[in-house]
Amino acid sequence: MSASRPTVLLVEDEPAQREVLAYNLEAGGLNVLRAGDGEEALLLVAECAPDLILLDWMLPNVSGIEVCRQLKTRSDTKAVPIIMLSARSEEVDMVRGLETGADDYMTKPYSVAELMARVRAQLRRSRPAAAGGRLEFQDIVLDGETHRVTRGGTEVKLGPTEFRLLAAFIEKPGRVFSREQLLDRVWGRDIHVDSRTVDVHIGRLRKALGQGGRDDVLRTVRGAGYALG
Ligand code: CA
């Protein structure tokens, strides 16, 4: 596993289908959040900022297409890739799904192998560090495959937690992460860590990146959290 595990929100109202899919996603090294309807999905997106959403079309209360439309019109969620899952096979429905902003579309019954391939393709775009990519911000370079970080060509020694923190930031330069979002992303939802721990590791990351009197690139946003640049 490189960087932190990407989180997928799975929105499916059929419990059996949901569990089969969740099993495969988890076996593929992903964190899975589950929602059984559209309202729950919208709440979880706001709370947990997932890296990708698998969205069933036919859902009780708020339909999948409406969830997709809402998320793709909000500035804070429109970049999150959405793969629509549908029992409908008519081409007109697929076109409608994509017009609503979905990034990909699969018709049930789908092959799990093909779905996983499409999930990975979308994650390479939204979570390049987790997918083993190379990311740059100003003179900082993070290599998701070798786990090496350099600044101005000089190697920066980071602990695993600081590496995952930097990976989260460098994937979304300028984005403000709350302490809770960093806890979810870097430590994982199942681990209980005090939010002050985040501050300690941010301090270490700052110190490591600032070696040799270089500029501080991490910004503290009062009352909100931290951002890169
Ligand atoms: Ca359904």
Q: What is the pLDDT of residues 34-82, one digit of tens each?
A: 999 999 999 999 888 899 999 999 898 889 999 999 999 988 888 899 9
For position 83, what pLDDT does the model report? 95
pLDDT band at 190 (very low <50, low <70, confident <90, very high): low
Ligand 1: distance of its center to the CA of 109 in Å? 12
Under the banding of pLDDT at 50, 70 and 90, the label for residue 90 is low
Average pLDDT over residues 122-137: 83
Sheet holding 52-56, edge to edge: 31-35, 7-11, 52-56, 82-86, 104-107
Total Cβ atoms within 10 A of residue 158: 21
pLDDT of residue 189: 66
Q: How far is the CA of 159 from the centre of ligand 1 (A)?
A: 43
Q: What pLDDT, on the 0 to 100 scale, is given for residue 99?
A: 81
CA of 67 to the centre of ligand 1 (A): 13
pLDDT band, residue 3 (cuts 50/70/90): low
CA distance 223 to 181: 14
* Distance (Å) from CA 24 to ligand 1 centroid: 18
Query: How many angstroms does the Cα of residue 13 sit away from the middle of ligand 1?
Result: 5
Q: Tell me the percentage of the chain whose pLDDT exceeds 90.
A: 59
Count of residues for the chain? 229
> Which pLDDT score is estimated for 79?
85
Q: How far is the CA of 131 from the centre of ligand 1 (A)?
A: 30
Q: How far is the CA of 34 from the centre of ligand 1 (A)?
A: 13
pLDDT of residue 167 exceeding 90: yes
pLDDT single digits (tens) 13-43: 999 999 999 999 999 999 999 999 999 999 9
pLDDT of residue 85 exceeding 70, the answer is: yes
Q: Is the pLDDT of residue 159 over 70?
A: yes
Give every CB contact of residue 191 below 8 A, 6+ residues apart in sequence: none
Q: Does the bond joining 173 to the residue before it have cis omega, within 30 degrees of 0?
A: no
56 CA to centre of ligand 1 in angstroms: 6
Q: How confident is the model at residue 2 (pLDDT cuts 50, 70, 90)?
A: very low
Spacing, Cα 6 to ligand 1 middle (Å): 24
How far is the centre of ligand 1, averaged over its atoms, from the C-alpha of 85 (Å)?
9
> For the chain, what are the domain ranges?
7-126, 134-228
Amino acid 100: pLDDT: 83
Average pLDDT over residues 182-206: 86
CA distance 211 to 217: 12
* CATH code, residues 7-126: 3.40.50.2300
Selected from 1.10.1270.20, 1.10.10.10, 1.10.357.140, 3.40.50.150, the CATH number assigned to the domain covering 134-228 reads: 1.10.10.10
Q: How far is the CA of 45 from the centre of ligand 1 (A)?
A: 19
| Count of other CB atoms within 10 angstroms of residue 117 | 10
